[in-house]
Amino acid sequence: MVTSTHANSRAHPEGEKQLKSRPVAAAVILVAGLGAILMGLALSVSVGAADIKLASVWEAVFRFNPQLPQHQVIRELRIPRALAGAVVGACFAVAGAIMQGMTRNPLADSGLLGLNAGASVGLALAFAFAPSLSFMYIMLYCFLGAAAASILVFGIGSLSHSGLTPLRLTLAGAAVSALLLAISQGIAILFHLSQDIAFWMAGGIGGTSWTQLGVMFPWVAGALVGSMMISRSITLLSLGKDVAAGLGQRTRLVQTTGILIVVVLAGAAVSAVGPIAFVGLIIPHITRFLVGVDYRWIIPCSAVLGSVLIVFADIAARLINAPYETPLGALIAVIGVPFFIYLASKRKGGLI
Amino acid sequence: MSRIQQSSVQKKRRPRDAAILSLLAVLIVFVFIISMNTGLIRLSPIEVLHTLLGEGSPQQKLILFDFRLPRIVISLLVGAGFAVAGCILQSLSRNALAEPSTLGINAGAGLAVLIFISFVPATTAAPIFMLPLLALAGAGLTAALIYFLAYRREDGLSPTRLILIGIAVGAGIYAIQLILSLRLDPQNYQFVATWLAGKIWGGDWRFVLALLPWILILLPFTFYKARVLNVLNLGEETPAGLGMAVERERILLMAAAVALAGSCVAVSGGIGFVGLIAPHLARRIVGPRHQILLPACTLTGALLLLTADTIGRWILQPSEIPTGIVVAILGAPYFLYLLARSKA
């Protein structure tokens, strides 16, 4: 299964020397971040094809009048959409944080390592063979797809002599992504699902419904709680597998739990909004930069910052080229690619 | 290895190499005949032969000469082009996993063509000779960008950095493609989606004509440079020690690879993995000398793509799987296998 890389990984540049964590900064991020999410949610509900005043948003929530179409729009379209953004932002970011911590791979992200593509295959299969399935089952298909992808990527990465170097993991992720995307494209073309799936692939949260949110919620909440429960162990793993084992940690158990959590988070998020990459890459890095190396702080702060990123990116996606919506996944990639290049070329020797 | 030793090895190898190349050519002819028989309307091998000799019915002539043959010729040319481009890139970067699609070059060429299609809607009436040029511009710009981002004064072109940055640039370009393609109307969208997935454009000799000059000029050029590639493959210091203008040769060969990949993308869309697999298979069969490796790549690539295209047309008739998807489904596992075997 997962083996950590050698000491040449750079997930934590100062990790070996000084184990700093900054709880105060983390507390500030949590409080300010939650405030920003609330503000973003309100803004997200009021911005769109039909501009709605914040006062009407307030009324629709607290003095709902089913006779008013505007209130209907707010309740049935805008609020679920805004909430979906917040939820999947947290999912992708925490999944990325756990993967980066466990594998000590600075380039880990559910999109880059093929998990999102795996979930896409699950979804394409569900659309093609059982179009009338409820969202609950579609999500389970996505879990299975993401799990298959993670087994492929980590299996290939660890089969080789020198273990899971960041380069090897990234290449395995790219190849598995290419393979799984080809399979889902093939399914889409054969079953004439191209357009449905393409819009969903582009990463759009416009169509999220209350039912979807309701189905997702218990899974996501469980996975997030689980990630907090293993956060201390991940801090130890991020120091190196040998260190963790030396300190008496049952590393295999922690890694298996971690992967299960990542699969649930990525699968649920992809099933709702499509394969949005790079959130899980960017947010944990920024968070580590701000709060230090303790995953008990990194995980909750990543969740909050991931929510902030997606909620505001979704608002931007609606404003940039109004009245058309810019695909959210593409928008995030435009931010994420330079970030990836910066990480990949930070040191002169490359990443091997 | 001294010069004398090398030449004696060459002498021993020559008959064997010739036999391997002929065997590949025979295989191509074999798949060619199967491919001529494959399609919605089935023709027996004898009917195909009759038609090729000019004795078929007008309908048979139409099917073979206007629909199947151009597509087969394009598959052969595109396969050869991608394979040689991949071989050059692998030798230049000394990275076994380098190829036009992992390095993002295919994506850049695709983006240029997509921009053209978005703004000049009538795709069939569009000046077809423009497309390879446009794709070339896109591929060239992308390659320049990747080179610029991956080059460091201290350690030159690190193979690792090159491929990571290629993956990243490819992802960015893919995002832009997505934004553009979703804004198309449904009809154009369907066309672009299958094209981006890597579909041979099919029944038109004009595409063959548009692609042929590029292949005819660039393949002999790279064959001519085979010795240079042998030397460049050795590393950074050795070629300079041998008095070679390393940077100039590298840029020339890189340009040839980019031009090959770009013009192939223009007629076939984003077909990845041919440029990866064909050179690996060829190297395994004939060894690392480029004088024989490059011709072997040409044939292996042509054979692979023709086979993939035939499979794509045959599996689920009458609907077709784009060739690029077939190649990816066959090629990605091979890539993973190479990755698992490789040493860091």
Partners of residue B194 in chain A, C-beta under 8 Å: 189
Selecting from A160, A337, A349 the residue whose C-beta is nearest the C-beta of B169 gives A337
One-letter amino acid at A330 equals A
Q: Report phi then psi at B187, rounded to 5.
A: -65, -50
Q: Do B325 and A178 touch (CB under 8 A)?
A: no
Interface probe with B: pick from A179, A200, A279, most Cβ of B within 10 Å: A179
**Both ends of chain B: CA-CA distance in Å?**
26
Q: Which of A186, A329, A345 sits opposite B321 (nearest CB)?
A: A186
pLDDT tens-place string over residues A250-267: 888 888 899 999 999 999
Question: Chain B partners of A186 at a C-beta cutoff of 8 Å?
Answer: 321, 325, 329
CA distance A154 to A165: 11
Span B151-167, pLDDT tens digits = 777 766 677 778 888 88
Instruction: Compare all CA atoms of chain A with the CA of B165 and give the residue at the minimum distance.
Output: A341
Q: What is the DSSP string of B172-199?
A: HHHHHHHHHHHTS-HHHHHHHHHHHTT-
Q: What residues of chain B lie within 8 A of the CB of A118, using their CB? A: none
Residue pLDDT, tens place only, A21-41: 788 888 888 889 899 999 998
Cβ of A160 within 8 Å of Cβ of B182? The answer is no
B339–A195: do the CB atoms touch at under 8 Å?
no
Of A172, A198, A337, the CB nearest to B336: A172
CB A274 within 8 A of CB A203: yes
Asked if A351's CB is within 8 angstroms of B178's CB, the reply is no
pLDDT value of position B239? 66
Residue A42 falls inside a structural domain: yes
Omega cis (within 30) before B45: no
- Residues B272, B277: Cα–Cα separation, whole Å: 10
Whether residue B265 is predicted with pLDDT greater than 50 in this model: the reply is yes
Within-domain flag for A5: no
Lowest-confidence pick of A182-196, B103-117, B121-135: B121-135
- ipTM of the complex model: 0.79
Query: Is A11 part of a structural domain of the chain?
Result: no
Closest Cβ opposite residue A341 in set B152, B165, B335:
B165
Give the closest of B161, B178, B325 to A344, CB-based: B161
The DSSP result for B233-274, as a single string, is TT-SHHHHHTT--HHHHHHHHHHHHHHHHHHHHHHH----SH
| Total CB pairs under 8 A between chain A and B | 150
Contact B90, B166 (CB under 8 A): no
Tens digit of each residue's pLDDT (9 = 90 or more) over A232-255: 889 988 888 788 888 877 888 888
pLDDT of res. A163: 66
Supply the pLDDT for residue A247: 83
pLDDT score for B125:
53
Q: Quick one: pLDDT at residue A352?
A: 38
Domain that holds residue A27: 19-345
Q: Decide if pLDDT at B221 tops 90.
A: yes
pLDDT in tens, A185-210: 888 877 777 666 666 666 667 677 88
In a domain, A140, yes or no: yes
In chain A, residues with a C-beta closer than 8 Å to the C-beta of B185 are: none
pLDDT at position B12: 59
- pLDDT higher than 90, residue B297: yes
Rounded to a whole number of angstroms, the distance from the CA of A36 to the nearest CA of chain B is 27
pLDDT per residue as tens digits for the range B303-314: 999 999 888 888
**β-bridge partners, A292:** A21
pLDDT at B121: 59
Domain architecture of chain B: domains with CATH: 80-271 (1.10.3470.10)
Q: What is the mean pLDDT of residues A257-286?
A: 90
Shortest Cα–Cα distance, B331 to chain A (Å): 8
Number of domains in chain A: 1
Contact yes or no for A327 and B178 at CB 8 A: yes
| Tens-digit pLDDT profile for residues A46-67 | 876 666 777 777 777 777 777 7
Mean pLDDT over A7-28 rounds to 60
Instruction: Report residue B317's pLDDT band, with 50, 70 and 90 as the boundaries.
Output: low
Residue B113 in this model has a pLDDT that exceeds 70? yes
Given pLDDT bands bounded at 50, 70 and 90, which one contains residue A2?
very low
Give the mean pLDDT of chain A. Answer: 82
Higher pLDDT among residues B123 and A285, named by residue: A285
Asked which of A51-55, A273-277, B216-220, B294-298 is least confident by mean pLDDT, the reply is A51-55
Residue B5: the pLDDT is 47
pTM: 0.82
pLDDT at A299: 94
**Quick one: pLDDT at residue B344?**
47
- Compare B9 and A145 and report the one with higher pLDDT: A145
* Higher-scoring residue by pLDDT: A164, B82: B82
A218–chain B nearest CA distance, Å: 32
Chain centroid to CA B81: 4
pLDDT tens, position by position, A104-132? 888 888 888 899 999 989 988 888 887 77
Rounded (10°) angle between helices B186-196 and B159-182? 160
**Is residue A3 situated within a structural domain?**
no
Residue A288 lies in a domain: yes
Residue of B nearest to A202 (CA): B178
For residue A255, what pLDDT is reported?
87
- CATH number of domain containing A156: 1.10.3470.10
Structure confidence at residue A347 (pLDDT): 53
Q: pLDDT of B235-260, one tens digit each? A: 666 666 666 777 788 888 989 999 99
What is the overall mean pLDDT for chain B? Answer: 81
Q: Are A5 and A165 in contact (CB under 8 A)?
A: yes
